[in-house]
Amino acid sequence: MTNPNTPVFKSVRPLVKAVEPNLYVEHTFHMKKCVSFTYNYVPMDDYIVQHWATKTQREIANDLNEYVHRVVYRCQVLKRVGLINAKWVKDGSSILRKEQRELRVKLRKVENQLRDINAA
């Protein structure tokens, strides 16, 4: 009897590899001994594409037991190819947060200038 809570995968074939096979072209043709030590990004890429909308990069790294910077790198590659979109595209909140941070910095500078004028 199977557990109804376990996810059922319809395809065993890697999703990203089927869409973008150029991402996984062998670049070690001149180093024959390195072939066995190359890193396989296929499972990580599939997991990132499937969970990009619901999880952060840190959560994905924890789930995959990977380094965060490796997940960040693969997210950048997948964004460049167009398989995932930047998260701020959905609601625009990160653009507004960035603008808010910039305005706070400007406000602090103006307050410091006013403080300097009042002190003199």
Residue-wise pLDDT for 16-59, tens only, equals: 777 776 766 665 555 666 656 567 788 898 899 999 989 999 99
Query: What CA–CA distance (Å, rounded) separates 85 from 79?
Result: 6
What integer pLDDT is reported at residue 9 of this predicted model?
47
Is residue 44 in a domain?
yes
Judge whether 107 lies within some domain: yes
* Statement to judge: residues 62 and 97 lie in one domain: no
61 and 113, same domain (yes or no): no
* 3 three-state secondary structure: coil
Higher pLDDT, 76 or 92: 76
Structure tokens at 87: 């998260």
**What's the total number of domains in the chain?**
2
What percentage of the chain carries pLDDT values higher than 90?
A: 38
Q: Is residue 5 part of a domain?
A: no
Decide: 56 and 88 in contact? Cβ < 8 Å. Answer: no
Residue 61 and residue 117 in one domain:
no
Helix (H/G/I), strand (E/B), else coil: 1: coil
Give the residue numbers spanning the domain of 30: 11-85
Answer whether residue 4 is part of any domain: no
In a domain, 99, yes or no: yes
Contact 42, 24 (CB under 8 A): yes
Structure tokens at 21: 């096979």
